């Protein structure tokens, strides 16, 4: 028994597997604008005559193919698509060193520069971005040095850095500028003792604005003196922040910006200022007066995240020139700061020039794209196409490495809106390569309404005397109104008088239990399968409960309307499984079955049967006799032996085992349905011995739903019988009188006078 149940359930799963959810139907969109925001697969039918009786306005929103099958022409489907428009597309610069200088603003390394994207929810818009590392591109380098006492030996070697670095950088670019600044620590008190020749500590000094004069750099550095500090970490983060945000004082141009940070110590960061009583967070603004940072005693050190933001905003690439002792610390810091490098200083900074050149080459050989903050609901994806066919996706799609001057690399950028922003206004985002001043400006327009929305008629008479706007073939009701034509107020929805008109034949079921009564009109429920629908005035019709053949609705040769198969041409029968094509029955004289009166079955074969016209129905008396002899059911089950012994019955396992046309004697294929909606198949023939033979498939072909119902019924019967038996057993085992509740306790208490019955005492 259990095996049969399992088999039945498996068959049910095969027959009634639920397809992928239709998001368009599920969204229950009341207007075209709501519909197209659900997803790119959804369209809206504007045809005023599209809806069938009982279908809600939201049924206009469906997948495009489904709308076509339901009879909505392409011209009546609203399905806007996204688009893109390039507004500025200046080609990247192609030139060689020595061809003459160009102004930095005339050099282009990224293409395109400006475009507009129109985004529909769920539909990505992609564009190509090209980057080329320009030849002879200008460079600004600012050298920021720790002047604490431990850096005394390093200062001596940096004094000649200007002219030497200018000479080496001329091999890379003809337009190079250099600047110098120094830092120690927040000024609390002078830690230098009397025998040390040092200045009092300071947070940051801008000593030399960016210049092309290397000798001036040497002279200025030669005038500097070291200072001291109370603890090992230095206040370098204060200095880096001021160098990044004080562009006018430093002299930064819109070119490659390099910041060389040289120290032999660690660093203080946000929160350490509390040690000196400073609690205000760093404000990230410029506070230079006479080239000195004046607010070090007022603001705390910046955090690492704050520094990363400001360095990125100002397109500054950082080179940490660090002594070997602190290299692990700054390697960790490098991992947090994009477009930064770490180099190891020798004991006296004698290798600083090679360190800078190597770090610059490392930084310039990699391009990393970053974008500004995205609007809510917008996502961005990157794909890279780098040198030598190297590709990347995801986070790796943002970068290309090992590129040289003059190399071109490409990126594919896809932007998708998952929803319309609340205000629906255009948004602007920017994409730029880290450490470079160029960027792509992208304006995002969001498709939140259909084109037909523009032609809507407010307070239209179609919408029940002006209670809504008629747009896109439907009424968009005013607030407080509902119904297909906005004919009802929300206060009337639960009225019993309105519900009466939703009951078929004054029955008790509202909308046949397949819908909701809205304004006295049935709005049919939606099915999980988008191909299946209820319809009709009382939602009494559907398009999925018609007869099936070979597990196909209407045999695959028709469509279901209100539970009746409407067959295609040349097909008939309750399941459209009987062919009316007679071409294979034409004799050489072009007459059907040679002019004789023959039966034509669903395989279009000629069968002799003098009383039957061209049909797919077998005589009733055969059906009743086959039913009673093979299955013990039907109208003749009580008189079967008497009335139905005129043929030999042969059972076969499946339809493939039934005799097929082409034999020497006439053969008739029959398909019949019993009272339980189960189909049975058999053939009837008279063999060469004039014996009547019936071959019948031994198992009934029942709908999966019915099989499940029978299984459920059987299980419930078994369950009920077990429960009743359990009850009877407990009743027999009861130790108390069944006529009195054992937990009942009377509210009456009785007390007896202890002197009752005794004589009174004589006083």
Spacing of C-alpha 628 from chain mean position: 58
Separation of alpha carbons 492 and 276, rounded Å:
72
Separation of alpha carbons 80 and 43, rounded Å:
8
Separation of alpha carbons 529 and 17, rounded Å:
10
Tokens found for residue 55:
């279908």
Q: Which residue has the tokens 């995002």?
A: 444
Residue ranges of E strands in 512-644: 515-518, 521-524, 534-535, 541-542, 548-549, 552-553, 558-561, 564-567, 571-572, 578-579, 598-600, 606-608
User: C-alpha angle 24/30/520, rounded to 5°?
Assistant: 120
Q: Which residues of 586-595 are buried (b: 16+ CB within 10 A; e: fewer)?
A: eeeeeebbee
Separation of alpha carbons 441 and 569, rounded Å:
60
Lowest mean pLDDT among 269-278, 607-616, 630-639, 723-732: 607-616
Mean pLDDT of 129-145: 91
Do 607 and 592 form a contact (C-beta atoms < 8 A)? no
Helix (H, G, I), strand (E, B) or coil at 437: coil
Q: What is the pLDDT of residue 725?
A: 79
The DSSP symbol for 21 reads: -
Lowest mean pLDDT among 38-52, 290-304, 592-606, 642-656: 592-606
Q: What is the pLDDT of residue 178?
A: 93
Q: What is the pLDDT of residue 495?
A: 58
Q: What is the pLDDT of residue 750?
A: 67
User: C-alpha angle 711/577/20, rounded to 5°?
Assistant: 60
Q: Is the pLDDT of residue 609 over 60?
A: no
Mean pLDDT of 538-547: 87
Q: Is the pLDDT of residue 446 over 70?
A: yes
pLDDT, tens digit (0-9, with 9 covering 90-100), for 570-592? 887 788 877 776 665 555 555 55
Tokens found for residue 519:
């304004």
Q: Is the pLDDT of residue 6 over 60?
A: no
pLDDT, tens digit (0-9, with 9 covering 90-100), for 242-276? 999 999 999 999 899 999 998 888 888 888 888 77
Residue 225, CA distances (Å) to 69, 161, 200, 202, 503 in order:
86, 16, 10, 12, 99
Q: Residue 356: which H helix or E strand, with range?
A: helix 352-364
Q: Is the pLDDT of residue 597 over 50?
A: no
Mean pLDDT of 55-73: 88
Give phi and psi for 189, each to the nearest 5: -160, 160
The DSSP symbol for 534 reads: E
Sign of torsion, CA 130 131 135 136? positive
Spacing of C-alpha 716 from chain mean position: 43
Q: What is the pLDDT of residue 738?
A: 47
Domains by residue range for the chain, with CATH? 83-95+105-135+371-447 (2.60.40.1510), 139-367 (3.40.50.410), 620-697 (4.10.1240.30)
For residue 484, what pLDDT band results from cuts at 50, 70 and 90? confident
User: C-alpha angle 606/607/612, rounded to 5°?
Assistant: 110
**DSSP output for 64-117:** HHHHHHTT--GGGEE----EEEEEE-PPPP---TTS----GGG---EE--EEEE
Q: HSE (CB half, 13 Å, CA atoms) of 38?
A: 25
- The helix-helix angle for 161-169 and 214-222 (nearest 10°) equals 150
Q: What is the pLDDT of residue 8?
A: 38
The DSSP symbol for 99 reads: S
Q: Which residues of 344-381 are buried (b: 16+ CB within 10 A; e: fewer)?
A: ebeeebebbbebbbebbeebbebbbbebeeebeebebe
Separation of alpha carbons 356 and 167, rounded Å:
13
Q: What is the pLDDT of residue 615?
A: 38
Share of the chain above pLDDT 90, in %: 29
Do 651 and 630 form a contact (C-beta atoms < 8 A)? yes
Q: What is the pLDDT of residue 14?
A: 35
| Number of neighbours of residue 307 by Cβ within 10 angstroms | 23
Among the listed residues 484, 456, 449, the one whose alpha carbon sits nearest the alpha carbon of residue 32: 449
């Amino acid at each position: 028994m259990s095996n049969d149940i399992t088999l039945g359930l498996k068959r049910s799963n095969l027959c009634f597997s639920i397809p992928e959810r239709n998001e368009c139907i599920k969204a229950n969109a009341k207007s075209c604008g709501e519909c197209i925001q659900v997803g790119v697969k959804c369209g809206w039918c504007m045809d005023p005559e599209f809806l069938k009786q009982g279908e809600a306005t939201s049924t206009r929103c469906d997948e495009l193919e489904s709308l076509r099958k339901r009879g909505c022409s392409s011209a009546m489907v609203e399905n806007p698509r996204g688009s893109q428009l390039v507004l500025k597309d200046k080609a990247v610069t192609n030139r060689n060193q020595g061809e003459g200088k160009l102004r930095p603003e005339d050099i282009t390394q990224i293409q395109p520069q400006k475009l507009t994207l129109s985004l529909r929810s769920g539909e990505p818009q992609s564009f190509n971005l090209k980057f080329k590392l320009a030849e002879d591109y200008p460079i600004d380098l600012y050298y920021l040095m720790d002047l604490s006492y431990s850096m005394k030996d390093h200062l001596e070697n940096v004094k000649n850095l200007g002219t030497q670095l200018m000479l080496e950088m001329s091999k890379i670019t003809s337009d190079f500028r250099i600047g110098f600044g120094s830092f120690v620590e927040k000024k609390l008190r002078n830690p230098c003792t009397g025998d040390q020749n040092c200045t009092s500590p300071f947070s940051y000094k801008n000593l030399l604005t960016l210049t092309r004069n290397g000798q001036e750099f040497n002279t200025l550095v030669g005038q500097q003196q070291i200072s001291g500090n109370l603890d090992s970490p230095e206040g370098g983060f204060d200095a880096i922040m001021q160098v990044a945000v004080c562009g006018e004082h430093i002299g930064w141009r819109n070119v490659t910006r390099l910041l060389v940070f040289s120290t032999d110590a660690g660093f203080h960061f946000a929160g350490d200022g509390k040690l000196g009583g400073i609690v205000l967070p760093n404000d990230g603004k410029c506070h230079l007066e006479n080239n000195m940072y004046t607010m070090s005693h007022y603001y705390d050190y910046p955090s690492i995240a704050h520094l990363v933001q400001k360095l990125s905003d100002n397109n500054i690439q950082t080179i940490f020139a660090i002594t070997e002792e602190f290299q692990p610390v700054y390697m960790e810091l490098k991992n947090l700061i994009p477009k930064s490098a770490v180099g190891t200083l020798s004991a006296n900074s004698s290798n600083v020039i090679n360190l800078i050149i190597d770090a610059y080459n490392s930084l310039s050989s990699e391009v990393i794209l970053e974008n500004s903050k995205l609007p809510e609901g917008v996502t961005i994806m990157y794909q890279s196409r780098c040198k030598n066919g190297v590709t990347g996706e995801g986070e790796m799609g943002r970068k290309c490495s090992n590129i040289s001057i003059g190399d071109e690399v490409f990126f594919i950028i896809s932007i998708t809106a998952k929803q319309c922003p609340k205000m629906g206004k255009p948004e602007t985002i920017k994409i730029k390569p880290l450490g470079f001043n160029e960027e792509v400006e992208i304006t995002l327009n969001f498709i939140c309404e259909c084109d037909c929305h523009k032609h809507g008629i407010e307070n239209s008479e179609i919408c029940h005397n002006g209670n809504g706007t008629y747009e896109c073939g439907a009424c968009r009701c005013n607030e407080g109104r509902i119904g297909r034509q906005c004919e009802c107020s929300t206060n009337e929805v639960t009225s019993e008088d309105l519900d009466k008109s939703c009951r078929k034949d004054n029955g008790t079921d509202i909308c046949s239990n397949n819908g909701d009564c809205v304004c006295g009109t049935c709005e049919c429920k939606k099915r999980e399968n988008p191909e299946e629908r209820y319809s009709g005035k009382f939602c009494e019709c559907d398009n999925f409960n018609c007869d099936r053949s070979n597990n196909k609705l209407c045999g695959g040769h028709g469509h279901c309307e209100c539970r009746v198969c409407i067959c295609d041409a040349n097909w008939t029968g309750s399941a459209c499984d009987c062919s009316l094509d007679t071409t294979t029955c034409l004799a050489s004289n072009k007459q059907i079955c040679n002019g004789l009166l023959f039966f034509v079955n669903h395989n279009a074969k000629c069968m002799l049967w003098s009383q039957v016209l061209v049909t797919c129905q077998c005589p009733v008396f055969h059906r009743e006799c086959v039913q009673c002899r093979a299955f013990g059911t039907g109208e003749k089950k009580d008189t079967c032996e008497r009335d139905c012994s005129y043929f030999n019955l042969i059972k076969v396992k499946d339809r493939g085992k039934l005799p097929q046309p082409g034999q020497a004697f006439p053969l008739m294929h029959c398909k019949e349905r019993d009272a339980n909606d189960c189909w049975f198949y058999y053939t009837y023939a008279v063999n060469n011995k004039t014996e009547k033979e019936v071959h019948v498939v031994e198992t009934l072909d029942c709908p999966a739903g019915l099989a499940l119902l029978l299984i459920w019924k059987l299980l419930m019967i078994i369950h009920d019988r077990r429960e009743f038996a359990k009850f009877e057993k407990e009743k027999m085992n009861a130790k108390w009188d069944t006529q009195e509740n054992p937990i009942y306790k009377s509210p009456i208490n009785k007390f007896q006078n202890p002197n009752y019955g005794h004589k009174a005492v004589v006083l």
